Every structure is written in structure tokens, then in C-alpha cells.
Amino acid sequence: MPSPAPFAPPAPSTSSAPSAPLRAAIVGTGAIANSHAAALAATSDAELVAVVDRDPALARAFAERWGGPAVFDSLDELLASGTIDVLHVCTPPGAHAEQSIAALDAGVHVVCEKPAALSLDELDAMTDAAERNDRRFVVVFQQRTGSAAAHVRRLFESGALGRPLVATCQTLWYRDPSYFAVPWRGKWSTEGGGTTLGHGIHQIDLLAWLLGDWASVHGGLWRLDRETETEDVSTAVITFEGGTVASVITSAVSPREVSSIRIDTELATVTVEHLYGHGHEHWRITPAPHVGEADAAAWALPDLEEPSGHEPLLRDVYAALRSGGPLPSTASDAARSFEIVTAIYSSAATGRTVTPATLRDDPDRMRSLESPVIDLRRA
């Protein structure tokens, strides 16, 4: 049973009135759950009504911070209560598939933190559960949001910048050894992968959101310093169907941290350099020498600025869920960047270039990303 007052659960009902906000719950009340609670508080389309964590004290403290939603003892009890419309899955990656599928099978929409799963097999099962229950399954890639990213994507889609030719994509982050002391981190069985799956996936996802479908991946996994089973650095060359080649590096051992994408098109260089989120000041569009001033001026970022983040993502997701309309592009195609990341692991394991057609021919990598890591550590 849920804990007694002051965290009384909302009265069960079979459905929300159309005009009522959607009833949201969070499972996993750790660090990132705060970004979800803040985003939910910012939209009138949602109301945080319940939370659950395997550590009840954490859940209670979280509930006190975020307006007193009901605290349940287990996800099973929460789902059986019939009191929610949307579950936010903010647990470590190893729990995402089971919890998301349980919620979808209970008729609840799911908003799941990245990385969505430990493997493509798991992600496929989650997508299947959404389809068979006619529910929505959203994976959080909040770096797709923000007015600058939307503007640049429109420029690419319209062809205003010409064909994208060459790109670099860097996630150079620093995670000291204590970061990996958390029990679920650094292990194939609980984190699923290393810095590529856990960190690089954000920039890889944004790159693919801007450039479209991928055509091939050749990658390698490296362990340079940290005491982990998984990689602390990866390198990859990705080609896209539109004819762009990208060099991608992801690192957890880089003291001056940066997240960056650079795309050189026929007419301009587009760059974004930030760390965990971007506003207009992080983006730059530099015209090629032959581009006239008036043409370049037409590419200027809009006056109205919205930074990237969970807030715009969840606002647009809830508006779609409430209206029954399609999910925004910031919340669709969750599998694409997971496929690219899986292809990096698959390529590292086989030494081969991986394509969308051959990706699913690697049953080991479909089940788990566990792959050989080249160890360059020195004693």
C-alpha cells in the first residue's frame, strides 16, 4: 500500500476528464527525476501525482520537494492503482525495459530516460509493447529541443544551407573514478555500455536528428584510464544517407569538457559548442566565402530564444498526449541513435563496417552491447 498521509494517493478513476491535466508518476527519484518534476510543474497539461523508488526514504524526500505527490511502495502497486496516465522512468538503464513494458501493458504512456534500454532487443520489445497497447513510448533526448536546434533543422530540411558534407561530433566529458564507484555504472549488465551509450548518445542523437538516417558505421572501443568493464573512449566514422561523413569521438576522460557538433555544408559551417544544454549563444552559422551577405542574413537565429531542456520536450510531449496528436519530432524515432550506438559496439566487436541491413545480423549485439574493448592503460 502507498504510505499514509501526508502523501495520500489521488482517488482512483477509470479515465481523466478530457479537460483535466494528465496524471504523471515518476519511478526512480534520483538526480534526473528532478528535471522531470520541474518540467511537469511548468506545464498545465500534466500533474505529478505519484512517485516510487526502491529506496522509500528517497521517494518521500523527493515528494516533499515536489508538492507532495503520493509515495507508493512499488511500481506494481502504483500501476495496479489505476491512478496515472503517464509513467516517467528515471531509474538506471537496467530497469528501463521491464518497468516501461509493465506500464505500457497497464495502459499507461511512458516517458523513459536515455539510454532507453540495454540492447536493441529490449528497445524493440518496448516499442512493441507501446504498439500492442496503443500507448506512446517516448525516450528523452532533450538536446533536440531549443529554438536554435529547431531553426538549424529547418534550414537543413529546406536545403537553405546546401548539402551537408562533413561533420564532427564530440562528447569530451570528464568522469573521475568516483563516478564509476556507483554500483550500476561501468558494467555491461547494469549500464549496458560505456561512455558511448551513457554520454555520447546525446550528441550522436542530435547529429542524426539534424542529418537524417545513417548509412554505415565503423567504430572502435577503448579503455584508456578508468577501472570499468566498459569503454571510457570510443571513436567512429558514420556516414549518412544524404551523403555526409562524420567523425565521432566520445570520452569520459577529458578534463576540459565540451559537447560539440560541426557540420560543413556546401554553403556554410554550422557549429554548436556547449556542455549539457544549449542556447543561441552556443550556435554559430558561418557562411562560405561565396555566399552573399543577404543570403547569410536570412539564416539568422530567431529573436525569440528558448534553451534546450526537459521543459520544452515534456511540454510538447504532454500537449501531444493530451490532444491525441502525433508526438513532436523531438520525441519520435527513439531507435535511430540507439541503432547508431549499437552499430559502434557491433563494429568494434567484428572489425567490420556495419550498415542498417547488417546491424540486425549480429545477434550477440542485439541482445547486449558487450564487446571487446582495446585496453591501452598503463600500470
Residue ranges that bind ligand NAD, judged by CB under 6 A: 27-32, 53-55, 58, 90-93, 95, 113-114, 140, 142, 198
Task: Report the C-alpha gap between 261 and 274 in whole angstroms.
Answer: 9
Query: Strands 283-287 and 268-274, how do they pair?
Result: antiparallel
Q: How far is the CB of 243 from ligand NAD (least distance, A)?
A: 30
C-alpha cell read off for 143? 538536446
Phi-psi region of 244 (alpha: psi -120 to 50; beta: other; left: phi over 0): beta
Using the minimum distance from each CB to ligand NAD, give the nearer residue, 93 or 164: 93
Give the amino acid at 73: D
C-alpha cell read off for 60? 518521500
Using the minimum distance from each CB to ligand NAD, give the nearer residue, 45 or 205: 205
Q: How far is the CB of 93 from ligand NAD (least distance, A)?
A: 5
Using the minimum distance from each CB to ligand NAD, give the nearer residue, 55 or 213: 55
Using the minimum distance from each CB to ligand NAD, give the nearer residue, 26 or 217: 26
Q: How far is the CB of 78 from ligand NAD (least distance, A)?
A: 10
Using the minimum distance from each CB to ligand NAD, give the nearer residue, 83 or 143: 143
SS3 of residue 87 by DSSP: strand
Using the minimum distance from each CB to ligand NAD, give the nearer residue, 55 or 131: 55
Greatest distance between any 2 Cα atoms in the chain: 70
Q: How far is the CB of 141 from ligand NAD (least distance, A)?
A: 7
Nearest to 112 by CA among 98, 180, 68: 98
The DSSP code sequence of 210-264 is HH--EEEEEEEEEESS---SS-SEEEEEEEETTS-EEEEEEESEEEEEEEEEEEE
Q: How far is the CB of 360 from ligand NAD (least distance, A)?
A: 24
Which contacts qualify for 290-295: CB closer than 8 Å, 24 or more apart?
Answer: 291/267, 295/267
C-alpha cell read off for 58? 528517497
Task: Report the C-alpha gap between 356 and 273 in whole angstroms.
Answer: 29
Using the minimum distance from each CB to ligand NAD, give the nearer residue, 91 or 119: 91
Q: How far is the CB of 191 from ligand NAD (least distance, A)?
A: 8
- Report the residue number whose CB is nearest to ligand NAD: 30
C-alpha cell read off for 248? 565521432
Using the minimum distance from each CB to ligand NAD, give the nearer residue, 111 or 155: 111
Q: How far is the CB of 271 from ligand NAD (least distance, A)?
A: 21
Residues 6+ apart with CB under 8 A from 259: 143, 170, 171, 172, 173, 202, 203, 273, 274, 275, 276
Q: How far is the CB of 58 from ligand NAD (least distance, A)?
A: 5
Using the minimum distance from each CB to ligand NAD, give the nearer residue, 164 or 198: 198
C-alpha cell read off for 266? 556546401
Is 50 within 8 Å of 27 (Cβ atoms)?
no
Classify residue 15 by its DSSP letter. Answer: S
Q: How far is the CB of 13 from ligand NAD (least distance, A)?
A: 25
